[in-house]
Amino acid sequence: MLSLGPIKLPMMALGLFVFMMDTLPYQDFKQRYGWRWPSNSRVGARPSYQFLGVDEETITLSGRLMPELTGGDTALSLLKLMADQGKAWPLIEGTGTIYGFFVVESLEVSRQEFFSDGKARCIDFTLSLKRTDDSLLDALGALTRSVLELAA
Protein backbone atom coordinates (compact mmCIF):
# COMPACT_ATOMS: atom_id res chain seq x y z
CA MET A 1 0.00 0.00 0.00
CA LEU A 2 1.28 3.45 -0.94
CA SER A 3 1.75 5.84 1.99
CA LEU A 4 1.66 9.56 1.30
CA GLY A 5 2.65 10.51 4.83
CA PRO A 6 0.63 12.71 7.16
CA ILE A 7 -2.07 14.83 5.57
CA LYS A 8 -1.30 18.54 5.86
CA LEU A 9 -4.49 20.49 6.38
CA PRO A 10 -4.68 24.26 6.04
CA MET A 11 -5.35 26.29 9.16
CA MET A 12 -6.60 29.28 7.19
CA ALA A 13 -6.19 31.00 3.82
CA LEU A 14 -5.85 34.70 3.08
CA GLY A 15 -6.34 34.93 -0.66
CA LEU A 16 -3.90 32.44 -2.15
CA PHE A 17 -1.67 32.40 0.95
CA VAL A 18 -2.31 29.29 3.04
CA PHE A 19 -1.50 29.25 6.76
CA MET A 20 -0.25 25.81 7.75
CA MET A 21 2.65 24.23 9.62
CA ASP A 22 4.96 24.56 6.61
CA THR A 23 4.24 28.26 6.01
CA LEU A 24 3.01 30.46 8.85
CA PRO A 25 1.36 28.50 11.68
CA TYR A 26 -0.27 30.89 14.13
CA GLN A 27 -0.75 30.08 17.81
CA ASP A 28 -3.03 32.98 18.69
CA PHE A 29 -6.17 34.17 16.88
CA LYS A 30 -7.82 37.37 18.15
CA GLN A 31 -10.95 38.86 16.62
CA ARG A 32 -12.26 42.30 17.57
CA TYR A 33 -15.67 43.70 16.73
CA GLY A 34 -16.78 47.28 17.33
CA TRP A 35 -19.97 49.38 17.24
CA ARG A 36 -20.21 53.14 16.97
CA TRP A 37 -21.94 55.01 19.82
CA PRO A 38 -21.12 58.74 19.67
CA SER A 39 -22.25 60.86 22.60
CA ASN A 40 -24.01 64.20 22.81
CA SER A 41 -23.46 66.35 25.90
CA ARG A 42 -26.56 67.55 27.76
CA VAL A 43 -26.93 70.24 30.42
CA GLY A 44 -27.70 68.76 33.85
CA ALA A 45 -27.93 65.19 32.55
CA ARG A 46 -25.72 62.40 31.41
CA PRO A 47 -24.70 62.41 27.78
CA SER A 48 -27.08 60.80 25.32
CA TYR A 49 -25.84 58.17 22.92
CA GLN A 50 -26.85 57.28 19.38
CA PHE A 51 -26.13 53.97 17.68
CA LEU A 52 -24.64 54.61 14.23
CA GLY A 53 -23.88 51.01 13.24
CA VAL A 54 -21.01 48.59 13.13
CA ASP A 55 -17.44 49.77 13.38
CA GLU A 56 -14.18 48.12 12.37
CA GLU A 57 -13.59 44.40 12.59
CA THR A 58 -10.01 43.25 13.02
CA ILE A 59 -8.31 39.89 13.24
CA THR A 60 -4.85 39.47 14.68
CA LEU A 61 -2.83 36.30 14.11
CA SER A 62 0.37 35.78 16.03
CA GLY A 63 2.80 33.01 16.65
CA ARG A 64 6.36 31.78 16.76
CA LEU A 65 8.16 30.29 13.78
CA MET A 66 11.01 27.85 14.19
CA PRO A 67 12.47 27.81 10.64
CA GLU A 68 13.98 24.35 11.22
CA LEU A 69 10.47 22.95 11.79
CA THR A 70 7.97 25.45 10.43
CA GLY A 71 7.83 28.22 7.87
CA GLY A 72 10.16 31.18 7.99
CA ASP A 73 11.43 34.08 5.92
CA THR A 74 9.94 32.89 2.61
CA ALA A 75 6.42 32.73 4.01
CA LEU A 76 6.78 36.15 5.64
CA SER A 77 8.09 37.62 2.36
CA LEU A 78 5.13 36.22 0.41
CA LEU A 79 2.70 37.71 2.90
CA LYS A 80 4.49 41.07 2.71
CA LEU A 81 4.25 41.00 -1.11
CA MET A 82 0.50 40.44 -0.84
CA ALA A 83 0.22 43.37 1.59
CA ASP A 84 2.26 45.59 -0.76
CA GLN A 85 -0.41 45.11 -3.44
CA GLY A 86 -2.94 46.97 -1.32
CA LYS A 87 -5.78 44.55 -2.07
CA ALA A 88 -8.48 43.00 0.05
CA TRP A 89 -8.27 39.20 0.21
CA PRO A 90 -10.87 36.62 1.28
CA LEU A 91 -10.11 35.08 4.67
CA ILE A 92 -11.33 31.49 4.96
CA GLU A 93 -10.67 29.14 7.87
CA GLY A 94 -9.67 25.53 7.29
CA THR A 95 -13.07 24.51 8.68
CA GLY A 96 -14.76 26.36 5.80
CA THR A 97 -15.76 29.42 7.84
CA ILE A 98 -15.68 32.53 5.63
CA TYR A 99 -14.71 35.62 7.62
CA GLY A 100 -14.97 38.13 4.78
CA PHE A 101 -12.49 40.27 2.84
CA PHE A 102 -9.52 41.63 4.74
CA VAL A 103 -6.54 43.88 4.04
CA VAL A 104 -3.19 43.48 5.75
CA GLU A 105 -2.94 46.41 8.12
CA SER A 106 0.43 45.51 9.63
CA LEU A 107 3.00 42.74 9.99
CA GLU A 108 5.38 42.82 12.94
CA VAL A 109 8.38 40.47 12.98
CA SER A 110 10.82 39.86 15.82
CA ARG A 111 13.84 37.55 15.52
CA GLN A 112 15.70 35.87 18.40
CA GLU A 113 18.27 33.16 19.12
CA PHE A 114 20.60 33.37 16.14
CA PHE A 115 22.82 30.84 14.42
CA SER A 116 26.48 31.76 13.84
CA ASP A 117 25.62 32.96 10.29
CA GLY A 118 23.04 35.43 11.65
CA LYS A 119 19.91 33.44 10.70
CA ALA A 120 17.26 33.44 13.42
CA ARG A 121 16.23 30.21 15.13
CA CYS A 122 13.00 31.80 16.36
CA ILE A 123 10.81 34.33 14.56
CA ASP A 124 7.81 35.83 16.34
CA PHE A 125 5.18 37.47 14.15
CA THR A 126 1.97 39.42 14.57
CA LEU A 127 -0.26 39.93 11.55
CA SER A 128 -3.09 42.49 11.81
CA LEU A 129 -5.96 42.26 9.33
CA LYS A 130 -8.83 44.72 8.85
CA ARG A 131 -12.17 43.77 7.28
CA THR A 132 -13.26 45.76 4.23
CA ASP A 133 -16.57 44.22 3.11
CA ASP A 134 -19.92 45.15 4.65
CA SER A 135 -21.48 41.72 5.04
CA LEU A 136 -20.93 38.03 4.50
CA LEU A 137 -23.24 38.22 1.47
CA ASP A 138 -20.93 40.86 -0.07
CA ALA A 139 -17.97 38.60 0.64
CA LEU A 140 -19.64 35.57 -0.94
CA GLY A 141 -20.56 37.59 -4.03
CA ALA A 142 -17.05 38.97 -4.42
CA LEU A 143 -15.55 35.53 -3.81
CA THR A 144 -17.81 34.00 -6.48
CA ARG A 145 -16.82 36.73 -8.95
CA SER A 146 -13.12 36.12 -8.22
CA VAL A 147 -13.48 32.37 -8.80
CA LEU A 148 -15.37 32.96 -12.06
CA GLU A 149 -12.67 35.38 -13.24
CA LEU A 150 -9.99 32.78 -12.53
CA ALA A 151 -11.95 30.10 -14.39
CA ALA A 152 -12.48 32.31 -17.48
Looking at residues 30-54, what average pLDDT do you find?
94
d(CA 84, CA 55): 25
Secondary element (H or E) of residue 109 = strand 98-114
What pLDDT, on a 0 to 100 scale, did the predictor assign at position 73?
A: 85
d(CA 25, CA 65): 7
What pLDDT, on a 0 to 100 scale, did the predictor assign at position 34?
A: 94
- CB–CB of 22/70 below 8 Å? yes
Least confident window among 4-8, 31-35, 45-49, 114-118: 4-8
d(CA 102, CA 143): 12
Looking at residues 42-68, what average pLDDT do you find?
93
